[in-house]
Chain A
Amino acid sequence: MDDLLREFVTETNESLDVVDLELVRFEQDPNNFKILDNVFRLVHTIKGTCGFLGLPRLETLAHAAEALMGKFRDGAPATGEAVTLILATIDRIKEILETLEAEQREPEGIDDDLIAALECMAASVAPDAPAPEQEVETVTPPPQAGSTEAVPTEPESAPPAAQADEAPAVNNAESQDGNGKSGHQSIRVNVDMLEHLMTMVSELVLTRNQLLEIVRRHEDSEFKVPLQRLSNVTAELQEGVMKTRMQPIGNAWQKLPRIVRDLSSELGKKINLEMQGAETELDRQVLDLIKDPLTHMVRNSADHGLESPAERRAAGKPEQGLIRLAAYHEGGHIIIQISDDGRGLDSARIKAKAIARGMVSRADAEKLSEAQVHKFIFTPGFSTAREVTSVSGRGVGMDVVRANIDEIGGAIDVKSVAGVGLSFTIKIPLTLAIVAALIVEVGGNHFAIPQMAVVELVRARNSGDHRIERIRDTAVLRLRGKLVPLARLTEMLGIDDGNAPDTGYIVVTQVGSHIFGVMVDAVFHTEEIVVKPMSSKLRHIPMFSGNTILGDGSVIMIIDPNGIAQALGSTVSAQLAVEEAAAAPDDVADAEMTSLLVFRAGSTRPMAVPLSLVTRLEEIDAKKIEVSNGRHMVQYRGQLMPLVSMNENVRVKGEGSQPLLVFSDGSRSMALVVDEIVDIVEDHLDIQVAGDNPGVLGSAIIKGHATEIVDVGHFLPLAFEDWFRRKEQPVDARPRAVLLIDDSPFFRNMLTPVLQAAGFAVSAVGSGREAFALINEGRRFEVVVTDIEMPEMNGFEFAEALHADPHTAALPVIGLSSVVSAEAIERGRRAGFHDFVAKFDRQGLIASLKEQIEVGCAA
């Protein structure tokens, strides 16, 4: 009997969840008898089973609800009131079930109130009687298309539902055979059972491996073949058990339509709930942990975020508010977004509250950006329910939500635009989810690298195309004409490998828009792993995102590409800074960090050139330098490469090795002769003193030293006179007018000659204001090229302002940025950019300019 009861409780709970959903749907679509039939059948089954098990209280309730629904089937209109009443009844049934589950018996109590109301309602709704005055509240439909709900929708072509004369017994039977609620066969399994299976499988794998080891020692063993089979079966078994842990996130969303429906009628708001990516799979454990925070946030959006229909009308928004839930995989994370198109966060109130709570001083608060202010809602202790609802009106318990998400190693971020809406982004790391990982060896240790971050594998050799080059201690790889910074895992992880040679493999990895190589000794295979969170004693190590047990039973650490990128001093954090461009001037400066190659030539003063302009660094044997036609040449990759001295003080060496900076463009290369390559540094490039000498743009302070910044554009024509003109023949004789906006004199000086040489007439200005001044003077331009990160008016704002003016609305704008992230591109598209080019991509810029002009001509 106990088992029977337990099964009844579980099954009924599931049925009730379906009833919840279906009823809300039915309310929107009162003519859909398929839905009603489904609900009716479920309630009827509950009633029948209660009678059988001797649960009178439940039986009476279900009966009363069924009677009212019977009226609907007879054609009575499904009013909001009636549905609310049935939902209330279902809630009561759930309460009773809880007690039933805990105490194995029905709780004491009477439900006369509900039953009376249900009977009264059933009596009052006469079939076919129009009852418009009862349409208290029309709630907008919950998601139909596009969302994957747990409930299978029945085919539309199905015949209309049978009417009331259908025998209850038949209904009952139908629900038993699964016709009612599930399209595929499934059984319920206790989670502990799965965990136990998982452990057992791991043990099995260990044992198998021991056996394999023994057989390996005995050639021609008769065990070999069966063991091979055992091995395969074990592997499959392991995979299968791992997959049973995964569940679609839709399971956590199942209750939301009902909650939103209740809230919308309670609050008198019209709410549309949209759900995308419900099929995204999550580890069961994570799912359990995020369920409550998600529900909480959706509740918040409905309660505080969305305005009343009247307010929305006044604000020029559609009456119906929108709450959107989306889940998807991204770069080894699962991203969940909860957004609404409501009023957004009230920055002023949050700020006032933060000051009142002593979290920030009044003076500091004034300096904070909106985004920084919004982050206060996550601060522990920021919100206590009572005060927040009255003060900020938003953010009830967001600190609690954050704490929950922190617990699973996730991160949460908020973006809010006053009057437009609010969006939370929850990023759950790999932790606990199954991912494919590349197993590599470094200094005798094995590590796993999440495959999602891996772009390609490169075999590094001492010679050949993929050679590791080093500039002092910095290793770089030249990959298809680009210099990729290399991370030496041995150094970063402090593993002593006795200075291994520069061979092995390079795992080219991408984090955001940043690409770098991870040097490893060997690459093995890929394996599907269940990431387990690291011990709290190890969680502080940024290089690892988790650990896992491999198929062979050993524990392996999982490398976090983000951590590596950060350790490389990459621009990943700078990217984030761009997103919060307004945050602080310092952040903007970070975004403008430039990698510079520092060298000496002709004097002891340091000189520098942006690293991204340099294709290659060479040290060649001075004996190989030949003189031809009065110029120094060297045979380089089967071609003659001209050498140009940095200045007259640099002597081409007669013996020893000669350092060269090689610049390539297509098949041509030239080299600048320098005395010594000093270092690669990251610094803010700010040319303070303009240069007098040809070939020098000016001087800047690099790592505390006054450094001459070299104008590469000056030297290229010295090697090949037609360097810039070769491929870049103007489309027609008339030079095209280009307006170049960049606050950095360096880039203006670098790009102007390049573009001029490509046949454009360039006007360069230092700010959006100056640009508008030129345009207002009546100057005509065919294309505008603008930097993104600029003080005063940034590139996005400039493009928006430009396109707001009908005279210049059609002017193509190309964005230049040192950081090309997906977010920036998206933002640029919205701002009206026609193209987006990385700052140092000369060829890309010229190609883009031509394209825009051609499009312009064709139009």
Chain B
Amino acid sequence: MPRENGSIMSNESGNLKEYVTATVGGLLFGLPILRVQDVFKPERVTDVPLAPPEIAGVLNLRGRIVTLVDLRKRLDLPPTGDDQPQMAIGVEWRGESYGLLIDSIGEVLKLEDEAREPNPANLDDGFARMTLGVHRLDDQLLLVLDVGRVLDITVAPMAA
């Protein structure tokens, strides 16, 4: 079983982990709750020309500059069609603030760590890299996102 990044859950009793769930491109994803700082509605987003396509822009969130990552593009998921306003999950990674754009936010779930299964072998490589495994919920599957991998957006080497 892939090891969870860091030991963020070690202080929880048993092996229950809490996940913030979100829908992106029709799929249900879960983020470890301790990774999540806040959930917000992105407003006044500034476009960044020449940015990687996954970067949806930057915005000011209570005095901090937050980089918006378009999860749908990052995960290479098809657009859902409906142009409803998106939400964002605020996470902090390596001292920088990010907002992960999602279609809608779901409830917080407590899940047994043992119940998590490794990614199916036939899952697309790029996609599988960003997920830590799958939880089988009653009605659908929940993919556990690896925040570090999601934010590991490769950029061209610095020019100067």
A416 close to B (CB within 8 Å)? no
Contact in complex: A202, B58 (CB < 8 Å): no
> Which of B2-10, B41-49, B104-112, B121-129 is the interface stretch?
B41-49
Which residues of chain A are within 8 angstroms of B62 by Cβ–Cβ distance?
199, 202-203
Selected from B48, B156, B159, the residue in CB contact (under 8 A) with A557 is B48
Selected from A206, A493, A554, A555, the residue in CB contact (under 8 A) with B50 is A493
What's the nearest-Cβ distance from chain B to residue A400, in Å? 20
What's the nearest-Cβ distance from chain B to residue A242, in Å? 12
CB proximity to B under 8 Å, residues A426-482: 445-446
Which residues of chain B are within 8 angstroms of A203 by Cβ–Cβ distance?
62-63
How many A-B residue pairs lie within 8 Å, measured between CB atoms? 89
Q: Could you tell me the distance between the alpha carbons of A138 and B157 in the complex, rounded to whole angstroms?
A: 52
Selected from B63, B65, B153, the residue in CB contact (under 8 A) with A547 is B65
Q: Chain B CB within 10 Å — which of A493, A538, A566 has the most?
A: A538
Contact in complex: A493, B157 (CB < 8 Å): no
Mark A168-196 against chain B: 1 for CB-CB distance below 8 A, else 0: 00000000000000000000000000000
Contact in complex: A543, B60 (CB < 8 Å): no
Shortest Cβ distance from B57 into A: residue: A555
Asked whether A494 and B96 contact (CB < 8 A) given A537-B67, A555-B58, the answer is no
CB proximity to A under 8 Å, residues B70-104: 94, 96, 98
Q: Could you tell me the distance between the alpha carbons of A137 and B151 in the complex, rounded to whole angstroms?
A: 58
Contact in complex: B51, A563 (CB < 8 Å): no
Q: Could you tell me the distance between the alpha carbons of A202 and B63 in the complex, rounded to whole angstroms?
A: 6
CB proximity to B under 8 Å, residues A500-548: 532, 535-544, 547-548
Contact in complex: B160, A549 (CB < 8 Å): no
Which residues of chain A are within 8 angstroms of B55 by Cβ–Cβ distance?
535, 537-538
Which residues of chain A are within 8 angstroms of B50 by Cβ–Cβ distance?
493-494, 541, 543
Contact in complex: A547, B49 (CB < 8 Å): no
A553 close to B (CB within 8 Å)? yes
Contact in complex: B46, A557 (CB < 8 Å): yes
Which residues of chain B are within 8 angstroms of A536 by Cβ–Cβ distance?
94, 96, 155
B1 close to A (CB within 8 Å)? no
Contact in complex: B60, A553 (CB < 8 Å): yes
B59 close to A (CB within 8 Å)? yes
Which residues of chain B are within 8 angstroms of A206 by Cβ–Cβ distance?
60
Asked whether A553 and B44 contact (CB < 8 A) given A535-B65, A536-B96, the answer is yes
Contact in complex: A493, B49 (CB < 8 Å): yes
Contact in complex: B160, A543 (CB < 8 Å): no
Asked whether A554 and B46 contact (CB < 8 A) given A202-B63, A547-B58, A547-B65, the answer is yes
Which residues of chain B are within 8 angstroms of A445 by Cβ–Cβ distance?
46-47, 49
Contact in complex: A495, B60 (CB < 8 Å): no
A55 close to B (CB within 8 Å)? no
B158 close to A (CB within 8 Å)? yes
What's the nearest-Cβ distance from chain A to residue B120, in Å? 29
Main secondary structure of the interface of A (DSSP, over half): mixed
Which residues of chain A are within 8 angstroms of B96 by Cβ–Cβ distance?
535-536
Q: Could you tell me the distance between the alpha carbons of A802 and B60 in the complex, rounded to whole angstroms?
A: 62
CB proximity to B under 8 Å, residues A822-836: none
Asked whether A563 and B46 contact (CB < 8 A) given A202-B60, A202-B62, A549-B60, the answer is no
What's the nearest-Cβ distance from chain B to residue A567, in Å? 9
Contact in complex: A555, B46 (CB < 8 Å): yes
Contact in complex: B158, A539 (CB < 8 Å): yes
Q: Could you tell me the distance between the alpha carbons of A556 and B50 in the complex, rounded to whole angstroms?
A: 14
B52 close to A (CB within 8 Å)? yes
Asked whether A537 and B51 contact (CB < 8 A) given A553-B60, A557-B46, the answer is yes
Contact in complex: A540, B46 (CB < 8 Å): no
Asked whether A540 and B156 contact (CB < 8 A) given A493-B49, A554-B46, A557-B46, the answer is yes
Q: Could you tell me the distance between the alpha carbons of A538 and B67 in the complex, rounded to whole angstroms?
A: 9
CB proximity to B under 8 Å, residues A780-821: none
Which residues of chain A are within 8 angstroms of B51 by Cβ–Cβ distance?
537-538, 541
Selected from B67, B155, B160, the residue in CB contact (under 8 A) with A566 is B160
Contact in complex: A535, B58 (CB < 8 Å): yes
A198 close to B (CB within 8 Å)? yes
Shortest Cβ distance from B96 into A: residue: A535
Which residues of chain B are within 8 angstroms of A615 by Cβ–Cβ distance?
none
Which residues of chain B are within 8 angstroms of A542 by Cβ–Cβ distance?
158-160
Asked whether A538 and B49 contact (CB < 8 A) given A202-B63, A547-B58, the answer is no
Q: Could you tell me the distance between the alpha carbons of A19 and B60 in the complex, rounded to whole angstroms?
A: 45
Task: Provide 25 A-B residue pairs closer than 8 Å at the C-beta atoms, listed in order of the A residue.
Answer: A200-B63, A203-B62, A203-B63, A494-B50, A535-B55, A535-B58, A535-B65, A535-B96, A536-B96, A536-B155, A537-B52, A537-B55, A537-B67, A537-B155, A538-B67, A538-B155, A539-B155, A540-B157, A541-B49, A541-B50, A542-B159, A554-B44, A555-B44, A555-B46, A563-B159
Task: List 12 additional contacts besides A537-B155, A538-B58; criterion CB under 8 Å.
Answer: A203-B62, A494-B50, A495-B49, A536-B96, A537-B69, A542-B159, A542-B160, A547-B65, A549-B60, A554-B44, A554-B46, A557-B58
